[in-house]
Amino acid sequence: MQLNKNKAKIGMMFDQIAGRYDFLNHFFTANLDKCWRRKIIRQIKYFNFPFDTVVDLASGTGDMMAELLKLGPEKAYSFDISEKMLDVQRVKIKDERLVIEVADSENMPVGDNSVDILTIGFGVRNFENLDKSLDEIRRVLKPKGILIVLEMFGMKKRNVLFEFYFTRIMPLFGKLISHSTYAYDYLHNSVMKFKTVDEFAALAVSRGFALRKKDNNFLKFVYSVYLQKS
């Protein structure tokens, strides 16, 4: 399968599955995705990272933002290129501190050096231009600001269990429930072809971040990566 990460195409794909996204996400991860997001909040508290202004990029239906709001930020922004994913978030989260807006990772409507924490849950793998996105994230973060990336990273070695689950189980249920023939084939391919966690961290370091921590959430392919603007 040819991977097309063109922003318009990716946005349309998520628009198409927005109504079923939450159900499928929790179903496919057996609700573990909720634990991974909560663990990030515990780490933010543990490291004592400031959280006055937070951004959740590629925010989708807002599960990460819902957790971030529990920290008690003064201002919060959810950005995504899919209007329909954000529409689901608008119904789920009502909070006067929160601005929900269509915006892409290469051009966020917030000022330089203005954000304490920026999270991205299962988003970076879909970015059309990762280098440009990292530069933009660096621009908006305050000095020493924190970027937290929760992602399914590529793997160096073949993993038979992973391949069976992603090529047989997920497309079957994904197509049945979301009615998208493309989205769940794309999911598998985008993970297979994505950088390993170490390659991703090295890229981030080359764009002006320091690696603070990488947390193996699941089978050494779902990680939370903590990076600090240096």
- Positions touching ligand SAM (CB under 6 A) are 7, 10-11, 14, 25, 57-60, 63-64, 79-82, 85, 104-105, 121-123, 126-128
Q: Which is nearer to ligand SAM, 107 or 230 (CB)?
A: 107
How far apart (Å, rounded) are the C-alpha atoms in residues 161 and 230?
Answer: 38
User: What residue has token string 């590629």?
Assistant: 58
Q: How far is the CB of 198 from ligand SAM (least distance, A)?
A: 22
Q: Which is nearer to ligand SAM, 123 or 145 (CB)?
A: 123
Q: How far is the CB of 109 from ligand SAM (least distance, A)?
A: 12
* In the complex, residue closest to ligand SAM by CB: 60
CA-wise closest residue to 111 among 145, 86, 81, 73: 145
Residues 6+ apart with CB under 8 A from 42: none
Q: How far is the CB of 178 from ligand SAM (least distance, A)?
A: 12
Q: Which is nearer to ligand SAM, 14 or 49 (CB)?
A: 14
For the chain, state the CA radius of gyration. Answer: 17
Alpha-carbon distances of 152 from 48, 92, 109, 180, 213, rounded to whole Å = 26, 25, 27, 21, 16
How far apart (Å, rounded) are the C-alpha atoms in residues 53 and 194?
Answer: 30
Q: Which is nearer to ligand SAM, 80 or 116 (CB)?
A: 80
Q: How far is the CB of 9 from ligand SAM (least distance, A)?
A: 10
Q: How far is the CB of 37 from ligand SAM (least distance, A)?
A: 7
